[in-house]
Structure 1
Amino acid sequence: MLSQTQWDERKALYYVCLNCENILILGDFNHELKLGSPLESFMLQSFDTRLFSPRESTTNARTTVDGVFGRLEDYNVEVFIYESYASHYKPLVIRVHEL
């Protein structure tokens, strides 16, 4: 069962995703983002967003849990994995520019 805070966050996400033309959603999703992942299908079907981040490991444990989803009509989005020596996670670098 979701807490009130989790429910409020989920409602806010739905509102923003359904009412904004251009959107980026990024974070540690705690779901493997390998090819054909259920999370990727959910994000596409629910919010019409696609995965921009690479399907490479984003942690030292070789998991791919960090991702960038989005829907940007007139922009090119590039996401790179930055090698960090100070963290278990590898930061994602995002570059967005107009077409």
Structure 2
Amino acid sequence: MSDLDGQRTFRGLPLTPEQDAEIRHYIKKRKQRGEPWETPELEAMLQDMLEPPPDDDTFVDEETEEETRGVAERASAFIDEGMDPIENSEEWQAAMEAEAMKGPRR
């Protein structure tokens, strides 16, 4: 991450140069249109930049984890133990994809 200069960013906030440029561009466009720039939209932009929303991919519920484990186990049943490792991996991957296309089990 690049060095942040609190004296030169918008309101001294800890913004990256790209974020600072985006904020200043927003303000410039609002002023050019004769619109107020101090808006809830600007506040939301700053909030997102300073505290990004949590990543939804980091949350894994137990059902999803159990389903994934079940798919992997069913895919493993299609694998011949006597195969070479590369062929084994390819067959397992193909079986995983086939199981995933079937959709969740109910």
TM bucket normalised to smaller: under 0.3
**Relative contact order, higher structure (CA 8 A, sep 6+):** 1
Which one has the bigger strand percentage? 1
Q: Give the TM-score normalised by the residue count of structure 1.
A: 0.22
Larger radius of gyration: 2
Which one has the bigger helix percentage? 2
